[in-house]
Amino acid sequence: MKYIEMQSYKDSNSVINPEKLLELVMKHAVKIDGEVYRLYRRFRADKWYGGIATGDVVGCNLRCGMCWAWKISYSLSGGVWMSPVDVAVKLEEIAKSRGFRQVRISGGEPLIAPRHLLKVADHLTNYTFVVETNGLLITRDLAREFANRPQVIVRVSIKGATPEEFSKITQSPPYYFHRQIEAIKILVESGLKPCVDVYPAAMLGFSTDETIKSLEKTLAGVDPRLSDCVDVEYVILYPHVVKLLRARGLTPTKAVTPSGIPAFMI
């Protein structure tokens, strides 16, 4: 992929435009040939959620400054084309071999080409299907699709606690922070139960006590229960993440080592 094309998702002021970035991902990491295919980097058993079968997809519509999968997301290269059935088979193989009852798609934004994700979920009705999303692509129609699938749980990962922190983390306009909050509201209004079928996660590695309280107030304005079930995310200082943080001029207020020990960036 030419360098000039990799810069095509930036506006003239070098602000990252998620809509333009989505177009780029659709061009290079999604293929429609009677079925919707997506590029996958790998499949693995993971420790999160008490154990979950995971497929790492290529491509995201944000450029977060602490992303552990940034090398894949930035390059949009490598990977294998997979149909929904192919993905479901791989996830079920891992789940059965490890005794997991949960599956997910991670490593990128799973709601790019949503029909692909919904078909994967439809092949895995005997498992809890965790949808990890930044929320920007949630629509009312898609929220209703999730509400009609009882095995689906939606985890909306909010980038920062305020619009300003969102922009600092993603280099995208602060407006999109409100889109993430609106996504949670749409999901709740579509019938997903707060803190059961849908819940907020939040990257608070660049937040202060004051901005965290602001986020809690914002979430409570959607539903009072949401402020009590925030899944807190901090920066994990993998070596390649530290490299990205330095390149972006970001210093987290809270971070952990890959083993989970609280740490400060050196």
On the CB side of 185, how many CA atoms lie within 13 Å of its CA? 10
Nearest partner of 243 among 14, 66, 61, 72, judged by Cα? 66
231, β-bridge pairs: 201
Full-prediction pTM beyond 0.85? yes
Reported as a single tens digit per residue, the pLDDT across 169-205 is: 999 999 999 999 999 999 999 999 999 999 999 999 9
Residue carrying the six token digits 């409570």: 220
**Chain-wide mean pLDDT for the chain?**
93
Which residues is 37 bridged to in the sheet? Answer: 31
Confidence (pLDDT) at 7: 62
Taking a C-beta distance cutoff of 8 angstroms, is the pair 36, 215 a contact?
Answer: no
Cβ atoms of 250 and 206 within 8 Å: the answer is yes
pLDDT at 1: 46
What is the structure's pLDDT at 76? 84
Domain boundaries, the chain: 3-263
Taking only the tens place, the pLDDT of each residue in 15-67 is 999 999 999 999 999 999 999 999 999 999 999 999 999 999 999 999 999 99
Burial class (CB in 10 A: 0-12, 13-18, 19+), 166: buried
DSSP letter string, 22-39? HHHHHHHHEEESSSEEEE
At 202-220, the pLDDT tens digits run: 999 999 999 999 999 999 9
- Count the alpha carbons within 13 Å of 196 in the hemisphere toward its beta carbon: 7
Q: What is the pLDDT of residues 58-92, one digit of tens each?
A: 999 999 999 999 888 777 878 999 999 999 999 99
CATH number of 3-263: 3.20.20.70
Percent of the chain surpassing pLDDT 90: 87
What is the pLDDT at residue 2?
Answer: 42
pLDDT at 243 over 80: yes
